[in-house]
């Protein structure tokens, strides 16, 4: 039997979709997460890599509570920076390709155009700073590693903005959603498949194997309020929760963590160098809600 793919992360959205993609492909894999594997344990990454002897490692684990990181910076740093750095060191020693997943929140608001891989990061919150520290730790420990920044990930698995909007709408008739934060919603199952495609090329170790920084995100640029309205309308025609969206500026909607208004990633490098381009938001949202709620109902369009 061939060596397994090692997925760091067990219950999270992307980790779940990586498990599904690997199972569908018939590839052996090992999924490591709490309570059996603790990324904050200094010795755990090396022990795990030695025990599993994988052909590829995909790190989909992170502290992802953006607001919570403001009050738990040490835990966020342990999970987002120190742990990934030790994992990268273990991967480098074992000569195993590593993909580390990062975030659009390493960027700030210095310009209005999409952020490219070569643009200087300027994180605005603890979460973004610790994820940037993790990128740097991974690349320093393992120069052959691939760091993939992703944006506004959603899908039928786990917690994400789409699921939150549905739960909010089930409880309230009006939702206040920021109208000046924009990004590219990214379908998690497609992202998982893209990561495994990149990983396979890293395993082959041929010329042009992916390494360094890469941006992966969906095709469509939207603001959060526009995204929420699309979710709610698609839910309504399925007989699911619906609410009115009241737009508000980020400055008038304070949260513990400051988020960038421009979370748009330039994904041209992924398309140009690796032939990978993820799809538009609309069809992926329809697929997600088909699974979460069911197909559209013939008479639902007549109901307000």
**Catalytic residue list:** 127
Spatial contact of 245 and 225, defined as CB atoms under 8 Å apart: yes
Closest CA to 102 of 76, 128, 68: 128
Closest CA to 213 of 265, 277, 167, 262: 265
Give the list of residues 6+ apart from residue 122 with CB closer than 8 angstroms, or none: 107, 108, 109, 110
State the DSSP code for 4.
P
Tokens coding 126: 């603890």
Q: How many CB atoms lie within 10 A of CB 140?
A: 12
Spatial contact of 243 and 175, defined as CB atoms under 8 Å apart: yes
Give the list of residues 6+ apart from residue 185 with CB closer than 8 angstroms, or none: 151, 152, 153, 154, 161, 218, 220, 222, 227, 281, 284, 285
């Amino acid at each position: 039997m061939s060596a397994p793919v090692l997925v760091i992360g067990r219950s999270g959205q992307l980790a779940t979709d990586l498990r599904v993609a690997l199972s569908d492909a018939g590839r052996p894999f090992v999924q490591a997460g709490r309570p059996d594997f603790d990324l904050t344990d200094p010795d755990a990454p090396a022990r795990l890599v030695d025990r599993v002897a994988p052909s590829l490692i995909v790190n989909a684990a992170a502290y992802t509570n953006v607001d919570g990181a403001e009050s738990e910076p040490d835990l966020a740093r342990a999970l987002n920076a120190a742990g990934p750095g030790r994992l990268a060191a273990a991967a480098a020693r074992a000569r195993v390709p590593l993909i580390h997943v990062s975030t659009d929140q390493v960027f700030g608001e210095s310009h209005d155009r999409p952020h490219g891989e070569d643009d200087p990061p300027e994180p605005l919150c603890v979460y973004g700073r610790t994820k940037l520290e993790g990128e740097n730790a991974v690349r320093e420990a393992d120069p052959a590693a691939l760091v993939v920044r992703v944006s506004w990930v959603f899908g039928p698995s786990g917690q994400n903005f789409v699921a939150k909007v549905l739960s909010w709408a089930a409880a309230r008739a009006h939702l206040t959603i920021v109208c000046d934060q924009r990004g590219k919603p990214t379908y998690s199952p497609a992202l998982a498949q893209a990561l495994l495609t990149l990983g396979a090329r890293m395993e082959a170790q041929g010329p042009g194997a992916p390494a360094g920084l890469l941006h992966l995100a969906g095709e469509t640029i939207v603001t959060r309020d526009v995204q929420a309205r699309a979710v709610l309308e698609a839910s309504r025609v399925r007989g699911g929760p619906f609410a009115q969206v009241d737009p508000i500026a980020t400055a008038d909607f304070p949260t513990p963590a400051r988020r960038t208004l421009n979370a748009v990633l330039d994904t041209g490098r992924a398309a140009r160098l690796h032939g990978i381009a993820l799809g538009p938001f609309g069809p992926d949202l329809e697929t997600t809600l088909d699974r979460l709620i069911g197909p559209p109902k013939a008479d639902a369009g007549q109901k307000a």
